[in-house]
Every structure is written in C-alpha cells, then in structure tokens.
C-alpha cells in the first residue's frame, strides 16, 4: 500500500501534528516502506505457532489474599497536594 503526501497531511492534521510541506513526501515514502514491511509479516505462516504474551515464560508471584485495614485517612490525605472533605482534589481532565 503506497501512501501519498496528501494522506500524510490528512493523518497529521487528524493527529494534531504539524508537518512542514517539505517533509510530507519523505514521510510518505517512509510510511509506505513501513506498511510494506507489515504486509510481508502477514505472509508468514503461523498456523503451528501457539499464542504467547512473552518470549520468556514468566510466573507471577502469588501472595495470600487477606483483608487488611485500608489505612488512616488523615495520614493518607496528608500526602496529597490538595484535599477537600476527606477526598483528594485533582485537576479536571475532561475537556
């Protein structure tokens, strides 16, 4: 799949990335090369390969699941930059 400079411009606009006009053509060439490489990976036969989450077998350390005290609210809130009525005060993150 070949990507043209207009597609790069459109994707950059959607991603809110400023790309100078002189970088559009080289970036289109780079992205096309990346997509060609990904298409080559799709040709690899993986029918007998088991799915895995890691190349190295890992076991998570287990601990006993016991109920414990949550802690002293005042001591925990003492570490907060701001608190109000027993809760953490955080900045709004939704636009």
- The pLDDT averaged over each successive group of 10 residues in the chain (95 residues) is 92 96 96 94 89 84 86 88 93 84
In terms of DSSP bridges, do strands 83-84 and 87-88 run parallel, antiparallel, or are they unpaired?
antiparallel
Task: Let me know if residue 31 belongs to a domain.
Answer: yes
pTM over 0.75: no
Extract the runs of DSSP E, i.e. beta strands, from the chain. 83-84, 87-88
Task: Let me know if residue 27 belongs to a domain.
Answer: yes
Task: Let me know if residue 21 belongs to a domain.
Answer: yes
Q: Mark residue 89 as left, alpha or beta (left: phi above 0; alpha: psi -120 to 50; beta: remaining).
A: beta
Please give the tally of structural domains in the chain. Answer: 1
Residue 32: count of CB within 10 angstroms of its CB: 16
């Amino acid at each position: 799949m070949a990507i043209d400079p207009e597609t790069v411009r459109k994707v950059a606009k959607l991603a809110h990335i400023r790309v100078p006009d002189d970088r559009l053509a080289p970036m289109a060439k780079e992205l096309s090369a990346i997509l060609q490489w990904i298409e080559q990976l799709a040709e690899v036969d993986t029918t007998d390969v088991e799915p895995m989450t890691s190349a190295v077998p890992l076991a998570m350390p287990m601990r006993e699941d016991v109920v414990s005290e949550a802690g002293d609210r005042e001591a925990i809130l003492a570490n907060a930059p701001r608190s109000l009525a027993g809760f953490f005060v955080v900045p709004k993150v939704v636009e």
